[in-house]
């Protein structure tokens, strides 16, 4: 099992926030992207962060957006669509969405509308 699976989402979330804010995006936009991917409500997302839910638990409880398969491209030199481990692929989907947000991509495109 990858070490990242047992990390809490709350421990990584501040890094996501810093990354998007540094590029002029907002926490509300970040949360919208996370909620789109996971199907969580705002309250559910806050609860998962407050409870220090691990990535494994976070995605086990999520209802992945059916359009998540449309997320393509590379994160850390690895193409997300080619990742074989389902949990790692979901984590990389999240990383890719955060990258797109930080790079200034329009929300309609990030949310695959």
For residue 35, give the CATH number of its domain: 1.10.8.290
Is residue 110 domain-resident? no
pTM attached to this predicted model: 0.93
Evaluate if residue 1 carries a pLDDT over 60: no
| Number of structural domains found in the chain | 1
Query: pLDDT at position 103, please?
Result: 95
Identify whether 69 is part of a domain.
yes
Say what percent of the chain tops pLDDT 90: 92
**38-68: pLDDT as tens digits:** 999 999 999 999 999 999 999 999 999 999 9
How large is the average pLDDT for residues 71-99? 93
Residue 103 in tokens: 């790079």
89 falls within a domain: yes
Residue 111 lies in a domain: no
Higher pLDDT, 75 or 33: 33
pLDDT above 60: residue 70 = yes
| 72, burial (CB in 10 Å: exposed 0-12, middle 13-18, buried 19+) | exposed
- Going by C-alpha positions, the residue among 65, 71, 62, 58 that lies closest to residue 101 is 71
In a domain, 40, yes or no: yes
Tens digit of pLDDT for each residue in 16-27?
Answer: 999 999 999 999
Residue whose entry in the numeric block shows the structure tokens 């997320």: 71
Cβ neighbourhood burial of 110 (10 Å; 0-12, 13-18, 19+): buried
């Amino acid at each position: 099992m990858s070490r990242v699976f047992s990390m809490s989402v709350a421990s990584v979330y501040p890094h996501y926030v810093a990354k998007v804010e540094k590029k002029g995006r907002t926490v509300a936009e970040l949360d919208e992207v996370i909620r789109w991917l996971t199907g969580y409500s705002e309250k559910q997302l806050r609860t998962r962060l407050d409870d220090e839910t691990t990535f494994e638990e976070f995605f086990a409880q999520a209802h992945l957006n059916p359009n998540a398969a449309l997320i393509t491209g590379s994160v850390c030199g690895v193409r997300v669509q080619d990742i074989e481990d389902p949990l790692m692929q979901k984590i990389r989907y999240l990383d890719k969405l955060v990258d797109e947000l930080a790079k200034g991509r329009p929300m309609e495109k990030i949310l695959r509308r």
